Every structure is written in structure tokens, then in C-alpha cells.
Amino acid sequence: MMPELVTNGPLTKLSEEEELFRDTVRDFAEREVRPRVTAMERASTVDPALLAKCFELGLMGIDIPESHGGAGGSLLMTVLAVEELSAVDASVAIFVDVQNTLVNTLLRKWASDDVKRRYLPRLATDLLGAYALSEPESGSDAFGLQTRATRQGNSWILEGRKLWITNGAEAGVFVIFANTDFTKGYKGITAFAVERGFKGFSVGKKEDKLGIRASSTCELILDGCEVPAANVVGEVGIGYKVAIETLNTGRIGIGAQMIGVARGALTAALKYAKERKQFGKPIRDFQAVQFQLAQAATELEAARLMVYNAARLEAAGEPYTTQAAMAKLFASQVAERVTSLAVELFGGYGYTKEYPVEKFYRDAKIGAIYEGTSNMQLNTIAKQILK
């Protein structure tokens, strides 16, 4: 039984519906995900049967409106799902996270009624999505992207490459950003809904990664990719706004992933501290170890408060850009510290794949990199507080 690290304070107190949902996902993670973790890690791919079960449970369409076949839930419910899954396997969690906070949210807020009708019901039931902004020379400088979109009759022709695309190997639809007019700079950037089967589209190299290994990270190749004009998401030229606002939401999801990873590692460390003996007694009896665990639990709770607060602000329609950046920054820092401590408390065993903490340690590192590096979060925070 894992320790309950959620307080009953005003920020972390959940409604009965939210508690039931959290507990359902927690049970799913233990029953369906945990037995598959080792095999998926070794194979560097998610079990397709598990992905299907995520759809069956409704985890892939949490905030899609019921009118489009989704659960009609909130961002906080997505946060709860991502946290619970990450406490077992961050790779499975990122499938759920990207689907909900980037793809579904973007289409729900920006797409035409026609695009919503065609894609949202399937995204809730059987279609995996991906978000494609980054390029070989355009990571933190997202608006420096070089992918070109040229109008040709009733279609747009996309030329370029995308890199570091999560869910790339499995996704059936991709939200791809390209520039329709380089003379306008970032104001030429436009978002497109691109199906895997479109002419000129292909998935390239799959990255061999340090962590979240079961999650695919791929290159996308756009070689004269033909996209119907009806698949523009939002209006032509406002893709920069679509990207920024979506990433603000996505960062809350990454914060949730990181508190889940930290919680999984801390739970394992608390259990092992009772079992591992040194100098004739369990290491949990040493005050130095107790203080380290107490510090880790405190930082984890603080990170959770920040993530939940950002999610609640978004749901209330309040400004949350700064809080999302702070939550992602701090949660990723806490995840690195807590997972590192867990490895150390396991001693030599912590450095082996026989125990789970080395995986938590590797999975934690990505939090400081994707959906905006820690330096980019600091940049965002600094701009906001110095206004």
C-alpha cells in the first residue's frame, strides 16, 4: 500500500468525483500497467493492448466534451491521471498527457466545427494524436521553425522535418506547425491537422532514449505533404498563438508527470528503508535518513500544490502562464532530487535494473527538457514578474 501524500488543504482537496476518478486510475496503473513495465522498457515500445485499455477507460479523451464522445472532464482530472500513471510508468503517462493537454485541448479550443467533428470523437475512442512543433534547428526557439506550407488550390503543401515528436510511432493524426509566409516571421506560422496516411507524410527515425523508453519519440518527414485546406486549425497565421497557449497547458501536464515520478520513487524508497539494514537496524531508524525522506516528502507536496493550483486556475479561466511555468520548473527539479535520493538509499541495488528506482531516475530527466526547458521556464517567469 503506497503512502498517501496528498493533504486535505484547499488546493489538494478533491471532490468525490475526482477522488473516484483518481482511485480508478490508480487501480488501473497497478493492475494493468505495472505488470507490463519491465517488458515495455526492454522493448522500447508500449504494449498496444495497454494503449487500447487506456482508450476503453476513457483516459485518452478526458476533457473532450461529451457531445464529441469524451468524458467532459477538467484539466485537473488529466493531472490526476498523469500523476497516478507516472507513479508506475512515466512512458504510459506521457501518451495520456500529450493526447489530452496538447492534441485534444488544442483542437477543442482552436479547430473548426468540421475538424472537431471529424477528429475529436476518434481521439476519445481509438485515434492517438501527436503535437509537432520542434525541428532540428528549432527547439527552444520554436518560432524559428523552417517547415514551409504553400497554398495549392484546395490544399496546402508542407515541406520540412519535425524532430522529437512524442507519440510519433503510434499516432494517426498530427498537429503540425508550418510557416505559410516567411516574410511575416512568426506571424506566418499556421497549425494543420495532418493524418498519417496523407500523401507525402512519413515517420522517420525513432530515437533511442535515456528515459521514458516505451514512449516513442520520432522524426517526421514532410515531402510535399498534401493537406486539405479544411484541415487548417485556427486561422492562417495565428499558429504562434495556438502553440504558445497550448504549451502553457501542456506544462501543467509535465508537472503532473514529474510529481508522479517523484512519488513513485519516494514510495519505493520509504518501503525499502524499512527492509534495508545497516549497523544492525533498518536505515529508516537513522535520523539522517529520516531527515532526507522528510525533505523529499515536503518538496513533493510543494510541487503538487503548484501543479494543482495551476490546473485549477486554468479551469477557472484565470491567468495561469506564470504558475504553469513555475509548476513545471519546480516539479522537474523535485523529481530529479527525489529520484536521485531514492537511488542512493537503495545503495548498490539502486544502480541496478532489478529495482525500480533507476528507471524513475532516468525518467525524471526529461522533465527539465521537453515542452520548454527549465531555462525557458525561468525566462517566462522572469518576463512575467518583471512586467
Catalytic residues: 371
Cα angle 321-324-329, degrees, rounded to a multiple of 5: 125
State the Rg of the chain over Cα.
Answer: 21
- Distance, CA of 380 to CA of 356 (rounded, Å): 34
Q: Please state at what angle helix 321-345 crosses helix 357-364, rounded to 10 degrees.
A: 150
374-385 helix and 321-345 helix, angle to the nearest 10 degrees? 140
- Chain centre distance of CA 114: 27
Query: What are the DSSP E strand ranges found in 167-294?
Result: 173-179, 189-195, 201-206, 217-228, 232-233, 277-278, 281-282
Which candidate, 141, 156, 138, 126, places its Cα nearest to that of 58?
126
Compute how many other C-beta atoms are within 10 angstroms of the C-beta atom of residue 375: 11
Report how far residue 356's alpha carbon sits from residue 358's, in angstroms, rounded to the nearest whole number.
6
